[in-house]
Structure 1
């Protein structure tokens, strides 16, 4: 039974270590995307379809 407590303690220490490493990597800019903004102008824009305005009804005289 004591082995379970030791493994639980070790797993919590490892999890906290990975969490701290992740926070440090995020704060240092490791996950900032510097490539996409430079090539964004090369991508074609999606065509925007105009919405037909059905709310305005016109009467024909």
Structure 2
């Protein structure tokens, strides 16, 4: 039972950290051009 007092806050903290990382990626434009990347791979420069 004492282990739950340690594991639950750690799990909530990691979940919050993942959510913040996802929101940061959205705001910084990581998902703006999803289709352009697949075409850039095919072009030979």
Tell me if both proteins adopt one fold, taking TM over 0.5 as the criterion: yes
Pairwise CA RMSD: 1.8
| TM-score using structure 1 length | 0.54
Q: Structure 2: which 5+ runs fail to align?
A: 40-45
| TM-score using structure 2 length | 0.71
- Relative CO higher for 1 or 2, CA cutoff 8 Å, sep ≥ 6? 2
Q: Which has the higher helix share?
A: 2
Quick check: which has more Rg, 1 or 2? Answer: 1
Alignment correspondent of 1:25: 25
Aligned residues: 37
Alignment correspondent of 1:55: none
Q: Structure 1: which 5+ runs fail to align?
A: 39-61
Structure 1 residue ranges (4+ consecutive) displaced by more than 6 angstroms after TM superposition: none
